Amino acid sequence: MPQNVPLALSLPARYYTSTEYYERELDWFFRAMWVHVGRAQALGRKGAFQVHEIAGDSLIFTRDDASRLRAFHNTCRHRGTRLCAQASGTFASTIQCPYHAWTFGLDGSLIAAPGMDRIEGFARADYPLFEAPVAEWDGNLFVHLGESPAPLETQLGGRDRMFQAWRMQDLAPARRIVYNVAANWKMIIHNYSECLHCPGVHPALQKLSHYLSGENEPAEPGVLGGKMKLRDNVGTLTMEGRLTRACLPGLSHEETRSVYYYAFLPNLLLSLHPDYVMTHTLWPRATDQTEIVCEWLFHPGEMARPGFNPDDAVEFWDLTNRQDWHVCEEMQIGLRSRAYRPGPYSHREDLLAGFDRLILETEQRAGNARNP
The contact set with ligand FES (CB under 6 A) reads 76, 78-79, 81, 97, 99-102
Residue placing its CB nearer to Fe ion in the complex, 155 or 193: 193
Rounded Cα distance between 226 and 212, Å, is 12
* Amino acid at residue number 94: T
Rounded Cα distance between 182 and 237, Å, is 26
Residue placing its CB nearer to ligand FES in the complex, 76 or 187: 76
Nearest distance, CB of residue 98 and ligand FES, angstroms: 8
* Amino acid at residue number 227: K
Torsion (CA) 55, 57, 62, 67 in degrees, nearest 10: -70
Nearest distance, CB of residue 279 and Fe ion, angstroms: 16
99's contact among Fe ion, ligand FES, none, with CB below 5 to 8 A by partner kind, is: ligand FES
Quick check: bond before 133 cis, omega within 30? Answer: no
> How many amino acids of this chain bind Fe ion (CB under 5 A)?
1
- 226: enclosing H helix or E strand: strand 223-229
Kindly identify the residues of this chain, within the stretch 298-337, that bind Fe ion according to CB under 5 A: 324
Residue placing its CB nearer to ligand FES in the complex, 115 or 334: 115
| Residue least distant from Fe ion (Cβ) | 324
Nearest distance, CB of residue 324 and Fe ion, angstroms: 4
Per CB under 5 A, does 275 bind Fe ion?
A: no
Q: How many CB atoms lie within 10 A of CB 180?
A: 11
Nearest distance, CB of residue 354 and Fe ion, angstroms: 18
Q: How many CB atoms lie within 10 A of CB 158?
A: 11
Residue placing its CB nearer to ligand FES in the complex, 82 or 210: 82
Residue placing its CB nearer to ligand FES in the complex, 79 or 357: 79
- 240: enclosing H helix or E strand: none
> For residue 14, what is the DSSP state?
H
Judged by DSSP in three states, 247 sits in coil
Residue placing its CB nearer to Fe ion in the complex, 127 or 316: 316
360's contact among Fe ion, ligand FES, none, with CB below 5 to 8 A by partner kind, is: none
122's contact among ligand FES, Fe ion, none, with CB below 5 to 8 A by partner kind, is: none
79's contact among Fe ion, ligand FES, none, with CB below 5 to 8 A by partner kind, is: ligand FES
What sign does the CA torsion over 128, 131, 137, 138 have?
negative
* Amino acid at residue number 360: L
Nearest distance, CB of residue 82 and ligand FES, angstroms: 9
For the beta sheet containing 88-90, the strands, ordered from the edge strand earlier in sequence to the opposite edge, are 88-90, 48-54, 57-63, 69-73, 131-132
Residue placing its CB nearer to ligand FES in the complex, 76 or 265: 76
* Amino acid at residue number 37: V
The alpha carbon of residue 185 and the mean position of all alpha carbons in its chain are separated, in whole angstroms, by: 11
324's contact among Fe ion, ligand FES, none, with CB below 5 to 8 A by partner kind, is: Fe ion
* Amino acid at residue number 51: V
81's contact among Fe ion, ligand FES, none, with CB below 5 to 8 A by partner kind, is: ligand FES
141's contact among ligand FES, Fe ion, none, with CB below 5 to 8 A by partner kind, is: none
Nearest distance, CB of residue 58 and ligand FES, angstroms: 14
Residue placing its CB nearer to ligand FES in the complex, 14 or 79: 79
C-alpha closest to that of 177 among 310, 291, 294, 279: 294
Nearest distance, CB of residue 85 and ligand FES, angstroms: 13
Nearest distance, CB of residue 81 and ligand FES, angstroms: 4
Rounded Cα distance between 329 and 112, Å, is 49
Residues that bind Fe ion (CB under 5 A): 324
